Chains A and B, each alone.
Chain A
């Protein structure tokens, strides 16, 4: 069906508030990734889900960040007690399968959520 969708497209919040960002991957894609991109910078890997396996959280910058993926489909990235340095574009991507030791399955990216913490 449609590509990866993310909501909200923009989010303005006050320092200290919690925010939830949503990602709807492409139907049938088993792998889901969250990245963060600060203004003018490259993408920073945050977390990766593959099927029902435990997520790879190695990229999460602090314990204020968490993510879950319900039913192997929709994912929510939660940032607690937001700080100004959390302001960035949060990108979600999905792929049919992960690439392990072979061709990397193409990652399809959503449009991102632009988060501004005041």
Chain B
């Protein structure tokens, strides 16, 4: 079963604008991750936020986690054409390290030059 659900399904912005993507999930988690997928390729891990963290930064990426609302957001600042890709949130189904990892359906981001 898919734990995470991203919103919106598709997003189109101008280069230089910020892109905000959201993920909601159903059950308690100990971490949430975001991945990027360029067309026809495998996924690449972007950032992991643990349940005891509220915000995390990595370069132009900012991730927030609200465990009371069971939601996370990914903000890409000053977007570039190269950020055009699909973005997925992922959550483990169990607390331990040996856990299945489930993904949402993804958000398609288009950044216009």
Q: Do A and B bind each other?
A: no
